[in-house]
Amino acid sequence: MEKGYLLLSDGTCFSGRIFGNPSICCGELVFNTSMTGYSEILTDPSYNGQIVLMTYPLIGNYGVDESWNESCGINATALVVRKLYEGPLPPGRESLQSFMARQNKCGITDVDTRSLTLHIRNYGSQNAVIFPQGMEAEARKVLASFPKITERDLIDGVSVKKETPDPDLGEGFAKCPDADSPRVALVDFGIKKSIIENIYRRGLHVTLLPPSFKASDVLDKGYCLLFLSNGPGDPALLQGAVNEVKTCLGRIPVSGICLGHQIITWALGGRTVKMTFGHHGGNHPVRDLDTGKTFVTSQNHGFMSDRSTLPEGVSIWFVNANDGTVEGLYDRSRHVRSVQFHPEASPGPQDGTWIFDSLLEDRA
């Protein structure tokens, strides 16, 4: 592995060694506090356009298995780790370095990730560039002209282009039900396989719709529910989808996860705002305001619902126990429910999987 550097847009620079594909790669740098699940994280479409910094110091120690992946390949722009594991692996497992190289993705190891995480926490997520030694001039030009995440359309390339009934999730995931059961209209903004799997496990069929869907594609076609998926980027850029969801409100039950929750926030009359460094990891406590119970969740978002903009009739379902941010909404009169966190528990924890029952039970 050759020497390389990670340069932030504020001028802060960290050194390390390049692994995977040694190239210049640029994106928004965010930190993830999960101890495991790097395969699921790298292949999560919501990380499209972002460089992921893992706070846990040793990454790659159990290798990679394709059956863990949340999509067909790596969606994250790059990976930053303190120590890349390069030792033996269980039979049949691919090394993380090989996986990154095969997917033409760049990573950097031997970085002081503790100092880097504290820097992001204090100064916020920002664009960064990873580059091999000797390419600093080119890297600085790329970074200087690279748009902010609030200016980028990151949905295209991680979502379906046309209506797709009952997608096959591949080895290791549940299959669609055989029974003639209700069908969910699921708008794909960058769907994780495990979300579809959880819907299948509850005996429902799924039809994926592209982000450019129209309300007429959903209404009066026999769907029991409109479900909005997770995905990357700024929900404020998706006003076309917001308007279509708004047309559906009160005419069909609507649910959503993560980006889907944020789009629902807009459709209900609220707004979203960018967070300083977001929530990324598998150890975020969430409190249920209906029951008072707190449970641990997996999260991946850099935007949040602005509670001050929520209109009358929209209730806050969950809040983050650490910082009080909105983690879920419902509107009983219009049969709407949404959550900011990821109840599919991939890579974990599984405390919130019951949320799917709530999201799917209120259907036509």
**Number of other CB atoms surrounding residue 179 within 10 Å:** 9
The active-site residue, picked from 119, 279, 301, 342, is 342
Catalytic residue check, 205: no
Catalytic residue check, 151: no
The tokens for 55 are 């706070």
For 59, which DSSP code? E
Buried-state track 298-323, b at ≥16 Cβ within 10 A, e below 16: bbbbbbbbebeebeeebeebbbbbee
Buried-state track 62-87, b at ≥16 Cβ within 10 A, e below 16: ebbbbebbbbeebbbbbbbbbbbbee
Q: Which residue intervals of 232-317 are DSSP H helices?
A: 239-248, 259-267
The active-site residue, picked from 119, 258, 279, 335, is 258
Q: How far apart are CA 166 and CA 208, in angstroms?
A: 8
Catalytic residue check, 258: yes
Please give the C-alpha separations between residue 163 and each of 145, 256, 354, in angstroms, as whole numbers: 36, 18, 28
Catalytic residues: 258, 342, 344
